[in-house]
Amino acid sequence: MAFPVALLLAVRLPDVMDPGSSRGPMWILTYFIGVVATFVTLPITLGVVTGAAGQVVAGWGRSRGSTAALIGGRRLTASPSGTARAVAGVVVLIGLLIQANAWSSLVTRFDKADRAAQENFGNSVVVMNPYNEKNIARFLHDTPTGLSSFLLHEPYSPGSGSIGQRFVVTGECQDLRAVGFICSGRQKLSGLPPRTRKILFPLYVRSDSEIRVETGTITEKMTSRHGTSTLVINDPSGHAVNLSQIKKIAHRTLITPPEIHSLEDDGFGNSTSTAQQAQWIVLFGIGTVLFLGIALGVTAATRFRDQADDLGSVSILTGRRSPFWGIGGWTVAGPMVLGAWAALAVSWILIAPMLGSPDSPD
């Protein structure tokens, strides 16, 4: 069946197409296609399953003398496509609601990272993107004493939409040791002091990122490589860095003064924008869920009406309305409940790759 294949691809293929936990464009695109394919094929699968189960229900109804079970089971067997259409609304409704909540949680996690940076560092960490500035040595020479600096460089990888996979950290040995780096070699994020991990987390360094540390002159490393470079200036003692003084030195010494800001203003975008993104996701999700809820109610009412037209004679012959409601339970309510539980289970499996291994600076 197509459903197991779609579910497997949605869970596994994104990490194959875009290795790592960076959640790059290729990962998101592959994941989105897999989720859509899963929720398209799930109602069809449920229709087939309920069609096969209808024979069992009909046999049980015949042996027990239950008119509702007998007719309901036969109707399930005769119309699996009708069952698929009935449960499609439930599946999409629950799936969309859980996906919207999961993506909102993912965006909110970025917001929390920014807020954590604000609470932990204030202005004690300053970052800048020097754009291969050749006069950076003069700039570093003129910065106040007591500050340590290192260059966080992410090499450019052609054809890769991912971020946060490989980094090269460069600086003088004493500056590197001041923040917990070794002077040379490979180092894992987990081996760094908590404060340094919290500095690197808003700069896209993840728990599975490859970090290579090199001792050397920042200027040489900056002008000899292609990629993205971030110069990190911090006070290891935790005292605030005079940001205005750093900006004045940059304007005086650098050919093209870059944007300079404290770590609290950097990261995944400011906290306001990420919070607004989460709010928009929730807003659109709620609107779509309300629309689908109305459509689902109309669909259920239509099926009950059609069933009333088809089974009116049964109620007349039996002289009771209970067969009508019993058949409705087997053919409408039962499949919808099954679809709801299936959608919950499948949605839990689908959001596991997204939220199952959250990175944390702690």
What is the tens place of the pLDDT at every residue in 298-307? 766 676 666 6
Rounded Cα gap, residues 350 and 101, in angstroms: 13
One-character DSSP codes across 170-202? EE-HHHHHHTT--SSEEE-GGGS-HHHHHHHGG
- Copy the structure tokens of residue 323: 């067969």
Number of H helices, E strands in the chain: 12, 7
2, 44 in Cβ contact below 8 A?
yes
For residue 354, the tally of other CB atoms under 10 A from its CB is 20
Written as six digits, the tokens of 246 are 């750093």
Query: What CA–CA distance (Å, rounded) separates 27 from 212?
Result: 25
Torsion of CA 13, 17, 19, 20, to 10 degrees: -70
Nearest-angstrom CA–CA distance, 187 and 17: 26
Distances (CA, A) of 64 to 41, 60, 68, 88, 318: 34, 6, 11, 31, 17
Cβ neighbour number for residue 150 with a 10 Å cutoff? 23
Rounded (10°) angle between helices 67-78 and 271-318: 120
How far are the Cα atoms of 92, 101, 106, 113 from residue 286, in angstroms, in the given order? 13, 10, 17, 26
**Rounded Cα gap, residues 305 and 311, in angstroms:** 10
Region label for 280, one of left (φ > 0), alpha (ψ between -120 and 50) or beta (otherwise): alpha
Q: Which of 92, 99, 58 is nearest to 76 (CA)?
A: 58
Summarize pLDDT for 185-240 with one digit per residue, the tens.
998 888 888 888 878 877 878 777 889 999 888 876 665 556 778 889 888 877 88
**Residue 47 gets which letter from DSSP?**
H
Q: 102 with 354: CB under 8 angstroms? A: yes
3-state helix, strand, coil in the chain (%, to 5): 65, 10, 25
- Amino acid 298 reads V
pTM of the model: 0.57
Three-state secondary structure call for residue 254: coil
Give pLDDT tens digits along the chain (362 positions): 688 888 888 888 877 766 655 566 777 788 889 888 998 899 888 888 888 888 888 888 888 777 677 777 777 787 777 778 778 878 888 888 888 778 777 766 655 655 555 555 556 788 887 765 677 888 888 888 888 899 998 886 655 545 567 888 998 899 899 888 999 899 888 888 888 887 887 787 877 788 999 988 887 666 555 677 888 988 887 788 888 888 898 888 887 777 887 776 554 444 445 555 556 666 666 776 677 677 667 766 676 666 665 565 555 555 555 666 677 777 777 888 888 888 889 988 888 877 655 455 55
